[in-house]
Amino acid sequence: MPGASPLDDSETYSEILSFAKALPLQLHPDKKLAEQLHAQDPIKFGDTNHKPEIAVALTRFELFVGFKPIGELADILSLGPLQAILAPHDNVNEAILREVCRTLLQLSSNTVSDVVKNLKAIPQSELGERYQYIPNLLERLSEQYSDSDNGLLVASLLMNFMTLEPGQAVCVPADSIHAWLSGDILECMARSDNVLNTGFCPRASRDNIDLFTSALTFKPHDQETALLPARPSLMGINEKTVKYTPPFSEFNVLATNLAATESETHTDLQAPSILVVTEGSGTMKILGDGKTLNLGEGSVFFAGPDAKLQFATDNGIVIYRAYATL
């Protein structure tokens, strides 16, 4: 097993980094559903594993993830433009939320356009301070996608709309609804390519709505729960490394951010890993091997489980390292 070896930068770097523009409203199936879908259609759903993921912001990053708190949805669902398409609900629970989501996704293109138009015209005073952003967000989504896309209603009305700054991260459990809107991220997910799409994409590309909504989980239910904090990692000897640890076992992500003339040493992780340089330049020394490799933005390396690596820079560097838990 090599200490650290370069991967094909042109292909691997673009796969590891996700440039979050026009990504559909989607969910990734959990293990049980993935097994069922694979058995029914192994061509479309090629994996039996679940697909939770994390996204770490490299730039300012806008996204939708999970649903708004249940207690706040009753006021939104009582807005005038929704009364013709939704039954009144004084109290909203998860079963009602599932049906509302299904109803919004099943609306015709013309109905969606009419509802979106009327929602854009709502006075901000009727939305309350917390949700005054909705009309402007609908205007923006209409331009980026289409004012007849059902995803506009589900995302803007029901989901958490978040803006992350570089270094902040979110965790998306399997079966959790989400959509990336804009910005650059490092995205890491469990071993699966399965996905269900149902908005922010052409109707012909959408998956079965009943399947999508029946699979939905309702976590996270607020923005704070969606956030994945970065915590100091003992794997960085010089204390220049933080760790993103999702609540599932497949992977973790280290982030090392060095200013000019700083250095960091990673202990051996006892797990295979992939390193990607997202900013700056420097060197990586493979301790015990004697090799020193140059690093630059876009560099991607595979490191074996026993690799002990030392990083140095003259002008600053940012390195992310994803590793599989054995």
pLDDT at 89: 81
**Domain end marker among 197, 226, 255:** 226
Residue 13 has pLDDT above 50, yes or no: no
Amino acid at 203: R
pLDDT tens digits, one per residue of 127-148 = 888 899 999 999 999 999 999 9
Q: How confident is the model at residue 12 (pLDDT cuts 50, 70, 90)?
A: very low
pLDDT digit string (tens) for 298-314? 999 999 999 999 999 99
182, 197, 226: which is the final residue of a domain? Answer: 226
User: Same domain, yes or no, for 201 and 100?
Assistant: yes
Q: What tokens does 121 get?
A: 């015209």
Q: Which token pair is 81?
A: 């433009």
Q: Which of 185, 205, 226 is the last residue of a domain?
A: 226
Q: Among residues of the chain, what percentage have pLDDT more than 70?
A: 94
Q: Is residue 302 part of a domain?
A: yes
Q: Is 121 helix (H, G, I), strand (E, B) or coil?
A: coil
84-107 burial, b for 16+ CB within 10 Å, e for fewer? Answer: ebbeeeeebeeebbeebbbbbbeb
Whether residue 29 sits in one domain with residue 172: yes
In a domain, 3, yes or no: no
Q: Which domain holds residue 283?
A: 229-324
pTM for the model:
0.89
pLDDT for the residue numbered 307: 95
CA angle, 316 then 319 then 321, to 5°: 165
Domain-embedded: residue 245: yes
DSSP 204: G
What does each C-alpha distance from 4 to 100, 266, 288, 308 come to in angstroms? 50, 13, 12, 9
Indicate whether 186 and 248 sit together in one domain.
Answer: no
CA distances from 152 to 78, 105, 205 (A): 17, 10, 16
Considering the domain architecture, whether residues 275 and 306 belong to the same structural domain is answered as: yes
